[in-house]
Structure formats: C-alpha cells, structure tokens
C-alpha cells in the first residue's frame, strides 16, 4: 500500500539552528500538507501546497517557516531559526482532491 | 469563538459493545467532516469523511452521522475489539475543500476483553 514517508524520524537541534524536515508524498497525489502536534495537544494545520505554491497557511506558519518541492518526489519543511516552542511532532500529509489525507509517521523535533 | 470539542474523558467499553464518540463544533460551517484514528507516537489514519449534505456514512463496523443543525457528528464502532483501542480525532475542513483541517483534541477509546 502506498504511504507517505518522512525523514528524519527524530531530530535534536539547538535553538537558533536551521532544520529541514523531508517528506516523500504518495506518488500520484497533488496536494501536500504539513501539520504539527505539540506533545499532548491537538494536531494543528501549518500549510497546504498545490501546483508549486502555498494554497493556505496558518498563523503558526510565519516567516521562519518555508516549504519547497525541490523535485518531483520530495516535499520539505524548513524552519530557519528554531525556537524552544517549535518542539513538536511534524506530520507531512498528501491527498488527491477528495479530502482524505494520508499522513506520514511524523518527524519529532526537539529544540534544546 | 470557534470551537471543536470531543469527549475529553477516555471511553472504556467491553469487547463486543458499540462505542459512540461525539464531536461538537461551534461557529463553523464545514463543507465536510472527517474522522481519524491515532495510535501513540504515530500519524493520524483516515477513517471516514462525511459531507454537509450527507446524514450518515458507513464503512464495515464504522458509522458516522453528521447533523449540521445540531453542529454535531457521532462516530460509532460496532462489535468493538481490543484492537480498536486508540485515540479518535474529529476534523473539520474550514477552507472549502483545501484540507485546512481543524482537529479536535480526540477521545481515547479503550476496549477491554
């Protein structure tokens, strides 16, 4: 069964450092997303991406965040200067146009 | 203010019984509502989607209802099994189909043998 894969599974970084989280969406999907979940809290929308541009973004997705689809298979989330409060599980997801999201297993980011 | 609420307490039921989980929302007019399952430390897994013009949807042992007047969705698991133990998340699309989903906090279900 096709799946969304994410790397790394866990990343520890120092505050102020740049982090790139990588995702390989399901190959025939056209819509890509990043969500995050702070430990013990709700899953929160960050950004959606379609046709090589951002479709929607949340208030969380400020200038520190960026997304890119550098080639035909990868979808990345970059955090330029990490803060302690960026510590969370980051989920990549993809979909066709039907609304059903397929999530990856997440990348746990710990900012020290 | 906009809210989406799920039973905050864990739901404990005996194997074989029907589990019913509730999702209430205020000040949204979602085009559709989705239910996901999440196991500890893992990503959400899609279960069912129901549109605003649908009253009920079924998939195997799962059933979801959607009442846009009451602003409520009910999620039922019939003939529950210990393997159904997980957290179940309700999610509303508030972007008219662009999958900007607002998730509830989830209800933890524990099915006991």
Q: How far is CA A26 from the centre of its chain?
A: 14
Spatial contact of B25 and B4, defined as CB atoms under 8 Å apart: yes
Provide, as residue numbers in chain B, all residues whose Cβ is less than 8 Å from the Cβ of A31: 98-99
- Nearest CA to A97 out of B99, B92, B58, B32 is that of B99
The nearest alpha carbon in chain B to A30 belongs to: B98
pLDDT by 10s per residue, chain B, length 113 = 678 999 878 999 999 999 999 999 988 888 789 999 999 999 999 999 999 899 999 999 999 999 989 999 999 999 999 999 999 999 998 887 778 899 999 999 999 99
Number of helices (H), then strands (E), belonging to chain A: the values are 0, 11
pLDDT of residue B92: 92
Partners of B86 in the β-ladder: B109
pLDDT at A79 over 90: yes
As a whole number, mean pLDDT of residues A56-69 equals 94
**C-alpha to C-alpha distance for A25 and A66, rounded to whole angstroms:** 17
**C-alpha to C-alpha distance for A69 and A94, rounded to whole angstroms:** 13
pLDDT of residue A77: 98
**C-alpha to C-alpha distance for A19 and A24, rounded to whole angstroms:** 17
CB contact under 8 A, A48 and B34: no
pLDDT of residue B81: 97
Q: Which 8-state DSSP code applies to residue B35?
A: E
Whether the CB of B10 is below 8 Å from some CB of chain A: the reply is no
Whether the CB of B86 is below 8 Å from some CB of chain A: the reply is no
pLDDT of residue B99: 82
Q: From the CA of B10, how many Å to the nearest CA of chain A? A: 14
Across the interface, of B41, B45, B104, the residue whose CB is closest to A42 is B104
pLDDT at A71 over 90: no
| Percent helix, strand and coil across chain B, each to the nearest 5 | 5, 55, 40
Which residues, numbered 47 to 86 in chain A, qualify as contacts with chain B under a Cβ-Cβ cut-off of 8 Å?
48, 50, 55-56, 58
Provide, as residue numbers in chain B, all residues whose Cβ is less than 8 Å from the Cβ of A29: none
Whether the CB of B70 is below 8 Å from some CB of chain A: the reply is no
Provide, as residue numbers in chain A, all residues whose Cβ is less than 8 Å from the Cβ of B93: 99
Provide the pairing of β-strand B11-14 with B107-112: parallel
């Amino acid at each position: 069964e096709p799946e969304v894969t994410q790397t790394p599974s866990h990343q520890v970084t120092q505050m102020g450092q740049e982090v790139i989280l990588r995702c390989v969406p399901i190959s025939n999907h056209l819509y890509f997303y990043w969500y995050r979940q702070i430990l013990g809290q709700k899953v929160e929308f960050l950004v959606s991406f379609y046709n090589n541009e951002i479709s929607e973004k949340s208030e969380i997705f400020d200038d520190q965040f960026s997304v890119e689809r550098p080639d035909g298979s990868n979808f990345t989330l970059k955090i330029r200067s990490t803060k302690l409060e960026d510590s969370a599980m980051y989920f990549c997801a993809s979909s066709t146009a039907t609304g059903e999201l397929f999530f990856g297993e997440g990348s746990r980011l710990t900012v020290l | 203010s906009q809210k989406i609420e799920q039973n905050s307490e864990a739901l404990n039921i005996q194997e074989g019984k029907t589990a019913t989980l509730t999702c209430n929302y205020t000040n949204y007019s979602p085009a559709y509502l989705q239910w996901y399952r999440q196991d500890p430390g893992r990503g959400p897994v899609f279960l069912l989607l129901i549109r605003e013009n649908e009253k009920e949807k079924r998939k195997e042992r799962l059933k979801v209802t959607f009442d846009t007047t009451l602003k409520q969705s009910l999620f039922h698991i019939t003939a529950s099994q210990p393997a159904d133990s997980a957290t179940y998340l309700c999610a509303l699309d508030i972007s008219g189909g662009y999958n900007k989903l607002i998730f509830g906090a989830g209800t933890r279900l524990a099915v006991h043998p």
